[in-house]
Amino acid sequence: MGLGFGVDPGLTVSVVAVAFGGVAFGTCSGLVPGLHANNFAVLLAATAPSIPLDPLLLGVAMLTAGVVHTFLDIVPALTLGVPDAAMAIAALPGHRLVLAGRGREALRLSAVGSALAVAIALPLALPITWLMVRGYPTIRTHLTLVLAAVVCLLVLTESSPRAALGGLFAFGLAAALGWATLDVQPAAPLAAGSMLTPLLTGLFGAPILLDAMGGDGVPPQADATLTMPRRDLGVTAGAGSLAGALVGYLPGVSAAIASVIALPALPNRDPDRGFIVATSGANTANTVFALFALIALGTPRTGVLVAMDNTGVPLRVPALLTAVIIGAAAGFLLVVSVGDRYLLTVGNMEYTTVSAVVLVFLAGLSWLFTGWFGVGVFAVAAIVGLLPPRFGTRRVHLMGVLIGPLML
């Protein structure tokens, strides 16, 4: 039997072959900072009429690329934007591990977290989808209240009153920026993106690079041994998978938000490692749950699935799950094989120059996908993104750029 289309070994072979093409796309997007599999998916969707490929195979390529990207995006995230050691307390969890010489371990924690989360998500997808189909109408009716509760939970779990106020302020600014710009459709050289490109790279990418300008970059890294207890690793990956269900069904909620909500219920012996495992797991498991959300509810939750929906990809579950499995296996192997070299290569470069080049590249992406208007939005978003560390608050509040407009 073929993969969801009867007895057709030839088409089954085609699905596997095209999936490996998707691996190549996902590898490119995952290793290039600021670029996302969504951009490739939108490009493929825009050119689909001229591509002599079955829509199902096109969808397989898109989905595989998206899964591989969720594994590999940890590599530039850990390597770029590493601050000076004196700023470690305000750094992201992954950067703190890199500063401690544990970057190779962090890469493997992320890969294991993502792989375990997919393995957990696959059998859970059907029962959770069954529950969500019955509960989604209520959630949709009270979406503003649900999102408001998420925002309150994020604020109330901050470490101090000052951090809580800073988080609320950052959320408000990001929400205002999203409300003012998300629906704008400026002229651009490539119609393969949206205002999310300058907004998200500006809020989350540029500020980290700017703060790291005076740093020494990636220090020498120690061995890759996992020091997180196996039980904690498994439980945290499971929580990340369940958090991925929240991301897959609740609009505006990111993997980082879901992980922040989930982590207090887990063993808290090592919050930095736990955050990496949970966030990576949520990010990858989200692909599985979002696929089932599209099938059951007709609501695409990721850019890749939006592109698939617009292209008219038939939702044949066995074929698409094959794409997920191939993408997960390839992503795991690529993180382990490519990540160490990436860390070593960037570590041997002059870090201020690297950060400046990546900043220019992000601004260039904004121009390419959203024109000069997008470059302006990128600059404003970068200023807003610099604020959370100054208040000692988490950057996750900047997801107000999506949550705020949804609430309104």
Q: Which pLDDT score is estimated for 108?
A: 95
H helices present in 312-350, as ranges: 317-347
Task: Give the pTM.
Answer: 0.86
- pLDDT beyond 50 at 3: no
Mean pLDDT confidence for 174-194:
86
Between CA 292 and CA 310 the distance in angstroms is 17
Contact 101, 231 (CB under 8 A): no
pLDDT, tens digit, for every residue of 5-39?
A: 454 666 678 888 999 999 998 898 888 876 665 66
Distance of CA 48 to the CA centre of its chain: 25
CA–CA separation, 307 vs 68, rounded Å? 17
Res. 136 pLDDT band, cuts 50 70 90: confident
Report the pLDDT value the prediction gives residue 376, as an integer from 0 to 100. 96
pLDDT value at position 10?
66
The predicted-structure confidence for 372-407, as pLDDT tens digits, reads as follows: 999 999 999 999 999 998 888 988 899 999 999 988
In the numeric block, the tokens 């996992």 are attached to 226
Q: Among the residues of 348-399, which ranges form H helices?
A: 351-385, 387-391
Which residue ranges make up each domain of the chain? 9-407
Give the least confident one: 169-183, 193-207, 248-262.
248-262
326 pLDDT exceeds 50?
yes
Average pLDDT (81-96) is 65
Taking only the tens place, the pLDDT of each residue in 341-358 is: 988 888 778 878 888 888
Q: Provide the angle, in degrees to the nearest 10, between the axes of the packed helices 271-297 and 55-72.
A: 170
How far CA 144 is from CA of 27, 156, 298, in Å, comes to 36, 18, 21
Compute the average pLDDT of residues 121-136.
88
Matching residue, tokens 């955050």:
275
Mean pLDDT over the full length of the chain: 85
What is the per-residue pLDDT for 252? Answer: 77
* CA dist list (Å): 105 to 102, 224, 277: 5, 4, 11
For the cut 50, the answer to whether the pLDDT of residue 270 exceeds it is yes
C-alpha–C-alpha distance, residues 74 and 348, integer Å? 19
- Rounded to 5 degrees, what are φ and ψ at 380? -65, -45
CA distance 207 to 131: 39
Q: Per-residue pLDDT averaged across 221-250, rounded? A: 87
- Tell me the mean pLDDT in the region 203-232: 84
Q: Tell me, what's the pLDDT at 62?
A: 87
